[in-house]
Amino acid sequence: MPSGSEAQDIPSEKRFGFVQSYDTKPRRRLWELMKSQGMQENQQVLFLSDGGDSVRNLQAFLHPSSEHVLDWFHITMRLIVMRQQNKAFIEENASAGSNAANTLEPVKHFLWHGNVDAALECLESLLLDLDPRRSGSPAAAKLQRSATEFDTYIRNNRKFIPNYGERYRQGETISTAFVESTINQVVSKRVPGEL
């Protein structure tokens, strides 16, 4: 997936998708686009991003006082990968794989409700259970690598994780899934048969 972000201006709810590697001056390009669409200097802007440092730094440069939110889509995609990896672990060791599933399942719930500390506690517990020295399982080692990366991802982005459930109920944007879908459609039309 390309590293991207979305900017939404509050009054008219304009949305912009952004791929940082498109040109050599992404800051200027995004700033000019937003200005051409009527953005004011002091206007509050909501940025959703995949959590990458380069995109987050760009957002902070453009509007330091605006709201920055980690995109729910990117969180769920990582959780889906770990669930799939856990299925392979269950095939190798049903009991240990079921325990890992029971530990992994609440992580999504806690993150949806903005309870980052509880989610990180579950991940720590999962990582202890998946210690490759104890299990000796290739599937457990693969899941352990993904869980470690996810733990780091959540820790690095913790201040950008709101209560998604509350935002969703209030009709606020929590995801750029529609942007990702559009990108996939454009790419599949330009490069048929390669997705």
The beta-carbon contacts of 23-32 under 8 Å, at least 24 apart in sequence, are 26/58, 27/58, 27/61, 27/62, 30/58, 30/62, 31/62
**Domain edges within the chain:** 4-71+176-190, 77-158
Report pTM.
0.77
* 118-133: average pLDDT: 88
pLDDT of residue 116: 98
pLDDT of residue 8: 46
What confidence tens digit (pLDDT) does each residue in 69-93 have? Answer: 999 999 999 999 999 999 988 888 8
Are 45 and 67 in contact, with CB atoms under 8 Å apart?
yes
Asked if residue 42 has pLDDT above 80, the reply is no
Least confident of 45-59, 83-97, 174-188: 174-188
